[in-house]
Amino acid sequence: MAGSMVPVKSVKKVGSLLSELLELEQRVSQRAHELFRDHGWQAGREAEYWLQAEKELLWRPCAELVETDGELRVSFALAGLTAKNVKVLVEPNHLTVRAVTTHEDRKEEGTCHFCEFHRGELYRSMALPSTVIPGKAQAEMKEGMLTVILPKEKEPARKKIPIKK
**β-strand partners of 64:** 75
pLDDT tens per residue across span 83-124: 988 999 999 999 999 888 776 666 777 777 777 666 678 888
Could you tell me the pTM of the whole model?
Answer: 0.67
Greatest mean pLDDT range, 8-12, 67-71, 112-116 = 67-71
**Helix pair 14-38, 46-57: axis angle to 10 deg:** 120
Produce one character per residue of 67-92: b if its CB has 16 or more CB atoms within 10 Å, e if not: eeeebbebebebeebebebbbbbbbe
* Angstrom distance (rounded) from CA 61 to CA 114: 21
Residues 128, 71: contact at Cβ < 8 Å?
no
Q: Residue 6 CB: number of other CB atoms within 10 A?
A: 23
Average of per-residue pLDDT values in the chain: 82
Measured CA to CA in angstroms, residue 26 lies from 22, 74, 91, 100, 153 at distances of 6, 28, 23, 17, 35
